[in-house]
Amino acid sequence: MSSSHYTKFHSGRMGQHLYPTEFLIRTMLGKYPGLDFEPQYAGRRLLDLGCGDGRNFPLFAQLELEIYGVEPDVELCRMVAERARSHDLPCTLSTGTNSRIPHDDGFFDFVVASHSLYYVDPHGSFQDNLNECARVTEDGGWLIATLPDVDNYILANAEPQSGGHFLITSDPYGLRNGTLFRAFASCEEVVREFAPWFERCSLATFADDWYGIRVSGFVLVAQRRARQSCASNS
């Protein structure tokens, strides 16, 4: 997806109000038997990787988190920063991608990747994204990410590539055609993929039909392994 189309898409959705996504509200505020997650938020740094239009910033601010966002397009960052100021939501926005995050090693206590981490750079791989996400997460920090399953609407007629990657060809919104995605067939596959860097994995699944658009996949909550542990396991 080109940055200009992506920015135009989000700018058209920037109304007056900001509505956080349901899965983040459930995950960050909820208590569930299968969710191994009891975080302390106040004063911690959170990266919203692929922050889009900034819709989740109010939730993060209410939890007293220090908000950082990354998007590939400088114009989108400018618009989101302006919108955040109008809502009195302090944040730091930077240009970058899933495989190139402009922050230091171990800088973040939390990384949230809401419908973003599975976008893979041309000629790259999902492993590049994981390496970078793990790099900027401190030991013991947390990742919260959504991942598509292989039945997700966006993969209709997609061209399978190696390593669980898919080339998108039939996006009904016309935004992602030609984009490389990583999709997963099972919870076990998700855990295996993330295991070298993350542990204490909690997984939820979702399958929604929004008036003919079937959105389905996984929500992963996982804790960053100690770097020494990662080295010994490699």
- CATH code for the domain in which residue 216 is found: 3.40.50.150
Question: Is 154 part of any domain?
Answer: no
Q: Where residue 2 falls among pLDDT bands split at 50, 70, 90?
A: very low
Task: Please report, for residues 59, 64, 69, 91, 95, the alpha-carbon distance to residue 88 in angstroms, rounded to integers and kept in the order given.
Answer: 13, 13, 16, 9, 21
What is the span of the domain harbouring residue 16? 3-148+184-233
Percent share of the chain, pLDDT over 70: 91
Residue 144 placed within a domain: yes
Closest by CA position to 66, among listed 77, 74, 57: 57
φ, ψ dihedrals at 199, nearest 5°: -135, -175
175 domain residue, yes or no: no
CB 47 within 8 A of CB 132: no
Task: Calculate ∠ Cα 204-191-149, nearest 5°.
Answer: 55
pLDDT at position 205, please?
98
> Is the pLDDT score of 105 beyond 70?
yes
Q: What is the pLDDT of residue 230?
A: 76
- Is residue 68 one of the residues assigned to a domain? yes
CA distance 229 to 31: 29
Residue 165 lies in a domain: no
**Is residue 9 predicted with pLDDT exceeding 80?**
no
More confident residue, 16 or 197: 197
Please say if the pLDDT value at position 5 is more than 90. Answer: no
Beta bridge partners of 68: 47, 92
Q: What is the mean pLDDT of residues 211-218?
A: 96
Supply the angle between the helices 3-11 and 74-86 in degrees, to the nearest 10. Answer: 20
Number of domains comprising the chain:
1
Q: What is the pLDDT of residue 106?
A: 98
pTM for this model (two decimals): 0.92
Residue 69 scores a pLDDT above 70: yes
Of the two residues 10 and 135, the one the predictor is more confident about is 135
Residue 200 domain flag: yes
